[in-house]
Amino acid sequence: MAFAASVFATQLMRALSGETGIQECSFVESSVTDAPFFSSPVSLGKEGVQEVHHFGELNEREQANFDDMLPTLQGQIQKGIDFVKENESKL
């Protein structure tokens, strides 16, 4: 995970410095799925995330796994949202 964070940070710094055409995967707020946040490819630019891209077509097995996983992910996202709401005065 540290390596992935390092790669993302490096790519983000390049984009913030004005380099164009940089895409990385990131867990961001989006409408790509029914979940309010999802990890998908994003285009990075001077202002951070410029565009959130769809993750592509899924085959039947991948779609079944995705459908099984999504409610769990949504529950975890809600726990994170609730935590922030409960602790925003401390942040």
Kindly state the average pLDDT of the residues 33-44.
96
pTM of the predicted protein model: 0.82
What's the pLDDT at 16?
97
CA distances from residue 5 to 10, 11, 30 in whole angstroms, order as listed: 8, 10, 20
Sign of CA dihedral 63, 65, 68, 73: negative
Domain regions of the chain by residue span: 1-56, 57-91
Kindly state the average pLDDT of the residues 11-19.
97
What's the pLDDT at 90?
84
> Per-residue pLDDT for 91 more than 80?
no
- pLDDT one-digit tens code per residue, 42-67: 999 999 999 999 999 999 999 999 99
84 pLDDT band, cuts 50/70/90, is: very high
User: Which of 5, 46, 2, 37 shows the shortest CA–CA distance to 24?
Assistant: 5
